[in-house]
Chains A and B, each alone.
Chain A
Amino acid sequence: MFVLIVGCGRVGSMLARSMMRDGHTVSCLDQDPESHARVEVGLDGGWEELGGSFTVGAALETRALETAGIKQADAFVAATNGDNTNIVIAQIARKRYRVDTVIARILDPLRAEWYSQQGMHTICPTSVSVGMLENEIRAAASTGNGD
């Protein structure tokens, strides 16, 4: 599968490596050229040598998205550090380029919830971590710790 990841920060770069290890073709787009080093952390060779590609450009730039291969992408992940950027580019990927699988990372739970109701596939790290924390605390409470 061809996976395009926009935003190559901690989340994007880690996902890029694991998708490559799974055998997918992975392309990253990030506006900061230095993010290229982040995606290579822990790899045995260079990102491109291992078959990956990396494009430097802004997420909203049509030309950058096309250079990064949005027209061929089977999956598109919007993982920049801006919720609004992710929401806008996810809609571009879906409506303009008809990418099959489009996932947007949205930190703000309220925005994530509303866009998810509108049919967008969203992942909200805030809600996920709150849920995990809740479970930990409930587990601790039920075993009697903290009395």
Chain B
Amino acid sequence: MYVIVVGAGKVGVNLTRELIEQEHEVTLIEQNRTRYVAVEQELEHSIQHGDASELWVLERAGIERADMVIAVTGDDEDNILICQVAKEKYGADRIIARVNNPRNRPHFDLLGIKPVVSATDLILRLLEHEVPHRNMVHLLDLEEERIEIIEVRLGEDSPVVGRTVGEIDTPDRTLLISILREGVGFVPTVNSELRAGDDVLMVLDPRQEEELKRRLGA
């Protein structure tokens, strides 16, 4: 696969290194001369100097044949523009954009730039998993594919407590895949009983989330 990575910060450089390790062909583009020179010794011909929001710089890097473009600069508007141009002008099959400021996320959505990666969101999600302040946490969201994995804490008053996995009435297109109890996770059978305080992992169609929450008493 031929991948163009834009932005030679920590994320961009490490990503490039990993992709090369996995035997992909990679070009990293960096506009800051000092940073470019610092990384060039290691990455040699895999890094180019230039502003990737200038179309000729992308063309010089071979955007026409790129299978994937990953924009991980520190500027959200640059990441949006690079991905928009890669996708709409040059027909890149896949793009990934980094969101630096979570408040800019709606702009990425509005302009159809997806998927996006936001370090802040990821950390918040981990924090939520470690120290839940609500009884439901999103662990994975594949919006395009319409699938998600959520973790639901069962309270004392949940209608499913005391019943077995086989007995509980969950909506269509939802599936209970695991129970976390006292720090240990296991894949249940139909005979496993649900207890108050359990965290259950469910895979589901996001459109069923409200109904599922209602039936689990979350």
Which positions in A face B, CB cutoff 8 Å?
60-62, 82-85, 87-88, 91-92, 95-96, 108, 110-111, 114, 118
Tell me, yes or no, whether B88 is within 8 Å of chain A by CB: yes
B110 proximal to A (CB < 8 A): yes
Chain B residues positioned under 8 Å from A118 (CB to CB): 88
Contact B110 A111 (CB under 8 A): no
Complex contacts, B120 vs chain A, CB 8 Å: none
Question: How many interface contacts (CB-CB < 8 Å) are there between A and B?
Answer: 46
A114 CA to B58 CA in the complex, in Å?
A: 14
- List which B50-100 residues lie within 8 A (CB) of chain A: 53-56, 75-78, 80-81, 85, 88-89
In angstroms, Cα B97 to Cα A84, docked, is 15
The residue from A82, A85, A91, A110 contacting B111, defined by CB atoms under 8 A apart: A91
Interface residues on B, range: 20 to 34
* Nearest Cβ on chain B to A58's Cβ, whole angstroms: 9
Q: Are A60 and B110 in contact (CB under 8 A)?
A: no
**A88 to B: closest C-beta gap in Å:** 5
Contact indicator A62/B111 (Cβ below 8 Å): no
Q: Knowing A84-B75, A110-B55, A118-B88 are in contact, say whether A96-B80 is a contact too (CB < 8 A).
A: no
| Cβ-neighbour of B110 out of A61, A96, A114 (below 8 A) | A96
Q: How far is the CA of A82 from the CA of B78 in the complex (A)?
A: 9
Chain B: which residue is nearest A63 at the CB level? B103
Are B89 and A114 in contact, CB atoms less than 8 angstroms apart? yes
Whether, in the assembled complex, B183 has its beta carbon less than 8 Å from a beta carbon of chain A, the answer is no
**Contact in complex: A84, B103 (CB < 8 Å):** no
B35 to chain A, nearest CB (A): 19
